[in-house]
Copies of this chain bind each other. A is one copy, B any other.
Amino acid sequence: MTKPVWRPAAEAGAWKGVEVLHYKAEGSAAFKGVTRRVLFDDPELACQVRYFEVQAGGYSTLERHEHLHAVMVLRGRGRCLVGDGLYELRPHDLVSVPAMAWHQFQATPEEPLGFLCLVNTERDRPILPTSDDLACLRRDERIAAFIKF
């Protein structure tokens, strides 16, 4: 079967012919209300483009890894932790997650947060924080108030 050249946008955060996937296996890590869609994935492309949507009040897993994330917000509102920084997120904002930086994306309580996330196709697996890592992160009051785990 030939891959389709054109996949039109359907309702917000959905595309014709693009399946909604689980973000992660339930119970494998802490997260709330996140879906995943793979928008581009081709053996001749060295990267994958995924679209994640975090429901209002939801959050992605607090984690880190060697591979980079190149993120663009597509819809909604939220905040993210990257390293020791907290950032407000609005449509089309760009976020670069460096190697081994702790990161978590959260939607606002009122609105979902949808974002593109580009990664190398060959990449390492995420690492979850140990209790020591969490203790370190929580030394910063702003981060302690932000993170969900």
Residues of A within 8 A of B (CB): 3-9, 12, 15, 18, 39-40, 42, 44-47, 49, 67-68, 70, 72-74, 82-83, 85, 87, 90-99, 101, 116, 118, 120-122
Contact = CB atoms under 8 A, between A and B. Distances in A.
Given A5-B83, A6-B87, A118-B118, A15 B68 contact: no
Contacts of A82: 5-6
A47 B70 CA distance: 10
A18 B4 CA distance: 32
28 contacts: A3-B96, A3-B98, A4-B96, A5-B82, A5-B85, A5-B87, A6-B82, A6-B87, A6-B94, A8-B93, A9-B94, A12-B92, A18-B94, A39-B72, A40-B96, A44-B67, A44-B99, A45-B47, A45-B70, A45-B118, A45-B120, A46-B47, A47-B118, A49-B70, A49-B118, A72-B116, A74-B92, A118-B118
A95 B40 contact: no
Nearest to A5: B82
Copies in the assembly, this chain: 2
A3 to B, nearest CB: 6
A7 B94 contact: yes
Which of A46, A82, A99 has the largest number of chain B CB atoms within 10 A? Answer: A46
A40 B73 CA distance: 14
Nearest to A120: B46
